[in-house]
Amino acid sequence: MSDTDPVIVHALAPSSVFAFRSEAESWDAFLERFEVFLQAHDLSELPEGRRRGTFLHYCGPEMFATARALSAPTPVHTMPLDLLMARLKLHYELTPSKYSRRQFFRRCIQRQSISQYVAELRAAAINCEFSDLEDALLEQFIYGLLDINLHRQILSRTELSMKIAMDEAWTYKMASQSTPDVRRFPPSALLALPNSAVHSQMMVLDPCADATASVDCLRSMPPRDGDVKDQPSLFGALWFPRHFCTLHPWSLRLFWIETLIVPVCLFVCLFVEVPWDQRWKAKEAAITSRTHKLNGNYSSDIWDPVRLIIAIILDGYGRLWHGYELHGIENIPDGPGLIIYYHGAVPMDYLCFLAKIFILKRKCCYSIADDCVFIFPGVQALAGVTGIIQNKKEECLNVLKKGKLLGISPGGMREALFSDKSYKLIWHKRKGFAQLAVDMKVPIIPMCTQNIREGYWIFGRSRALARRLYEYSRIPFLPVYGGFPVKFRTYIGEPILYNPNVTSEELAEKTQIALQSLIRKHQQIPGSICRALLERFHKEKKKE
């Protein structure tokens, strides 16, 4: 076909359908759609002039104006089509590097079904230039799975490929969907299924029709009185809420009641350390199969929902009663580190800090507590969940080796009891934290809270006798009172990085100076409870 041959075009698509949208497609996909457009209207054999004219006519007013600007001073209708396409591609498609594409690929996680997740991974892997594409897809596919049980099941296989992993995922999904249907019905309900002859005939005609008809038949059956005792416990259905709501509309209200009551009861029984055989004899068999994973290892991620509940409660108390604020959170490293803080009479500020860190970063900060804290009943389990450990070097090293944060108050109980509104540090030559930081090569982050001494007070003016008794017995004899709704602001100072040329003694002294300077910067000394109460009503901070 030449430029002089007539071209008959019938009912071409409107330009609005053909227009390029950068947010919806790439430039290469647009060009491919243009070729399909030409092929659909029998215009594939057009010469270059008419091909260019067809493109400019149907590209839309916005792209036409862009093409005119890119081709200036040459008229756009005379510019070679290849050169015009190259300039438009440079304008509309900013080519990212393969490293940025790989970073986007590594952030892909499962947000939808397995098939959609695999399609998203394959689309994100385009132009990533992986040396082994299937291996990269397999690694990211396993990493991005939401179900931890499926994740472990796939990793337990000795031989793995993308096909094997997808087969495992589909098998696991089908099993999880069919299990609630099977568990709902007693053995007597299986009599309603088709007999073997009908079953075989249906399978030959339509393999999926039999399963669908059987499940629909079972779902339509009302529960019989004699079968109620065989119905699974609501505790079992609690782990399949979506299927439970579908299959049990008659007990939806009971489901939500037990959804709220059961976790609270489990929480109370665990931390009060009530024996299971005395409180839960009727439900022990149903609960054991679901709770055996929770016993023993309190540092497991399976306790994160409990930690989140505790954190929300503490954070709500801190914000409502003390107007708690946290400043300098950007100074906290992503890896391991030591948080060195000033210890108030009651470390409520530190508990609010732990809650805020977990809520904002989902990061559990471990803490060292005095030995007298662990003598109370139930504290051992609560401490295990919240990351409170005893002052033992081995446990501290293990925490830092795991890449976690560790909070230490060198003053400890001594500083809580015998410091006053002057906010004086009472460390008593404690340098173990500095040696720990030097051994593990981790930074030290100083931290203090404004008005912590005004919130909680120690009873008694003359404390000389109490100080002697404490040094002798390590038991706090002075009572605590207060709980005043003063303003709490926690300030996190700049980290003191590891320096191989600094000894532990020099590092301890440097940390003490940094923490004392942080206190003087943000705390008016001596402290005043009236001023601390007034700070609840304005946002003015201490001037530097």
Residues with active-site annotation:
343
Angle between helix 393-401 and helix 432-440 axes, rounded to 10 deg? 40
Listed in sequence order, the residues at least 6 apart from 479 whose beta carbon sits closer than 8 Å to its beta carbon are 458, 459
Give dist(CA 44, CA 57) in Å, integer.
Answer: 16
Listed in sequence order, the residues at least 6 apart from 516 whose beta carbon sits closer than 8 Å to its beta carbon are 425
How many other CB atoms are found less than 10 A from the CB of residue 491?
20
Q: Which amino acid is at 463?
A: R
Give the tokens for residue 72: 């200036």
Torsion of CA 505, 511, 517, 520, to 10 degrees: -100
Q: What is the DSSP-derived secondary structure letter of residue 222?
A: P
Q: Which long-range contacts (CB under 8 A, 24 or more apart) does 27-34 make?
A: 27/88, 27/89, 27/92, 27/93, 28/93, 31/85
Q: Which amino acid is at 40?
A: A
- ω into 347 cis (within 30 of 0): no
Give dist(CA 247, CA 293) in Å, integer.
Answer: 27
**Cα–Cα distance list, 519 to 150, 366, 423, 428, 511 (Å):** 50, 23, 8, 19, 12
**Cα–Cα distance list, 12 to 41, 63, 253, 414 (Å):** 7, 19, 58, 86
Helix, strand, or coil (residue 491): strand
Token pair 């051992």 in the structure block, residue: 380
Pairing of strands 480-482, 388-389: unpaired
- ω into 73 cis (within 30 of 0): yes
Beta bridge partners of 406: 338, 366
Closest CA to 141 of 159, 119, 158, 172: 119
Asked if 109 contacts 146 with a C-beta cutoff of 8 angstroms, the reply is yes
Beta bridge partners of 496: 444
Give the tokens for residue 491: 């300030």
Give the tokens for residue 272: 């009060």
Question: What is the secondary structure of 471-492 as a DSSP string?
Answer: HHH----S-EEE------EEEE
Question: What is the secondary structure of 386-430 as a DSSP string?
Answer: HTEE-S-HHHHHHHHHTT-EEEE-SSHHHHHHH--TT-----TT-
Asked if 499 contacts 449 with a C-beta cutoff of 8 angstroms, the reply is no
